[in-house]
Amino acid sequence: MNTSYAPRQWSSRFAFLMAAIGSAVGLGNIWRFPYLAGENGGGAFIAIYVLTLTCIALPILIAEITVGRMGRQSPINTMRRLVAEHRALRVWMLIGWGSTIGAFIVLSYYSVIGGWTLKYIELAVSGAFAGDTAASSAEQFGVFVGSPLQAGFWHTVFIGATIAIVAGGVSAGIERSVVILMPLLFVLLVGLALYAVTTPGFGEAMRFMFAFKLEDVTPGTVLAAIGQGFFSLSVALGAMMTYGAYLEQDVSIGRSAVIIAVVDTIVAITAGIAIFPLVFSFGLEPSSGPGLTFITLPIAFGSISGGVVIGTIFFLLLAVAALTSAISLLEPLVAWAEETYQITRRRLAIMVGAAGWLVGFATVFSFNYWSDFFPLAPLGLMVDKTIFDVFDFSVSNIVMPVVGLMLALFAGWALTRETVVAALGAERARWFSFWRFMLRYIAPLGVISIFVANVLM
């Protein structure tokens, strides 16, 4: 194993928090959460989300960061080391491989969507939304994603930026960019939310998001909340394990994880407060999923005065959120490569990133050349899913639940109580027993229930 690479360590707890919050806050917060909340009972969904986040995703997040800090390496080598040191079963190494490969796959398509956000900054700046109607906005989006050249170009720019940051290393690359980008993101978001408060649709938007509609709550609501919590906290794709590996022993993981979860949730709710008043002010449809961001909102930006500025800020916000998440998706594999080969990080970041760039074209083409190609249909599986859909479905419904479950079982059952207490250091606080109980019993049951429901239903 190569050990000649530059030391990888956050220079402060603040740097770690910005990087981890940067990973957590992403496309999942800004378009997916508000839309899910509106569709699934508003305030009732938010209450269920907070409850399941606390009982399932948060305990696993603490476990993931802790495991990372115990191994101090990339997820693959961290798991290899812990399995050897604790004479655990080799199957636990699936946590390392599964999460790293999952992160690479997500990176490939996340970058394509990141490219969309860049294209939309350009459209917003140039006033292209002016006078948009539902039909023209949908067409504008269709023409863009329908063009392999256009979508491929912006995907290239986005992943190029991701590579450039990761190539700089943990402190000179990742840390230096997140400590600027994350505060920028908060300022943009608060600015947008303050603007939204002044629009006529504000009251209706608040009722849509926060009314406690218990009648809209179904078993599916609970499952959606659990799945969203996982994705939103970046659990089970190795990102948080890798970031944990660069963390000092004296930082409290429990407290940090709570901060990450609280900020992530506040950002998600604030995003809803920023978006829905615009949607309602123009009598638009709040429940259009991915189209909400790229089709519905441009109509609003095209009609309001100052829409050029507001639209630009919005897509800039989205791009920043996506970029800081993409960094954390590239880092696990680059970290492993750095430990494995006598090659500089710069070169490795370019090589791994170029591979992600290439795989990303499968997603670019899923919206044009290959939009009717359903790769798993011959096997009778996922018959109407493009390559992009297959990637997205497999990671969210298979890789994340399986790795998340294994993390809970590994830290909750395979490692002894004493080992985990020692790993958490001075933190043997009151929450320890509560956390360990959640990790051993509640989180596994929760994950198994999403898994069974998603795959079988």
Contacting positions for ligand PHE (CB under 6 A): 23-24, 26-29, 231-232, 234, 237, 239, 325, 328-329
Q: Which is nearer to ligand PHE, 27 or 79 (CB)?
A: 27
**How far is 36 from 321, CA to CA, in rounded Å?**
19
**How far is 175 from 322, CA to CA, in rounded Å?**
16
Q: What is the DSSP string of 235-252?
A: TTSSHHHHHHHTS-TTS-
**Min dist. Cβ of residue 338 to ligand PHE (A):** 19
Q: What is the DSSP string of 64-121?
A: HHHHHHHH-S-HHHHHHHHHHHTT--GGGHHHHHHHHHHHHHHHHHHHHHHHHHHHHH
| Amino acid letter, residue 323 | L
**Min dist. Cβ of residue 202 to ligand PHE (A):** 25
Q: Which is nearer to ligand PHE, 370 or 391 (CB)?
A: 391
Nearest Cα neighbor of 120 from 278, 290, 269, 282 is 290
**Min dist. Cβ of residue 240 to ligand PHE (A):** 8
DSSP state at residue 212: B
Give the bridge partners for 42, in sequence order: 212
**How far is 279 from 301, CA to CA, in rounded Å?**
10
Q: Which is nearer to ligand PHE, 26 or 38 (CB)?
A: 26
Nearest Cα neighbor of 46 from 207, 267, 209, 289 is 209
What SS3 state is found at 154?
A: helix
C-beta of residue 174 within 8 angstroms of C-beta of residue 332: no
**Min dist. Cβ of residue 354 to ligand PHE (A):** 20
**Min dist. Cβ of residue 32 to ligand PHE (A):** 7
**Min dist. Cβ of residue 264 to ligand PHE (A):** 8
Q: What is the DSSP string of 399-414?
A: IHHHHHHHHHHIIIII
**Min dist. Cβ of residue 138 to ligand PHE (A):** 24
**Min dist. Cβ of residue 329 to ligand PHE (A):** 5
Q: Which is nearer to ligand PHE, 291 or 375 (CB)?
A: 291
The three-point CA angle 342-343-349 to 5° equals 140
Q: Which is nearer to ligand PHE, 138 or 323 (CB)?
A: 323
Q: Which is nearer to ligand PHE, 65 or 308 (CB)?
A: 65
Q: Which is nearer to ligand PHE, 295 or 329 (CB)?
A: 329
Q: Which is nearer to ligand PHE, 392 or 427 (CB)?
A: 392
**How far is 38 from 55, CA to CA, in rounded Å?**
22
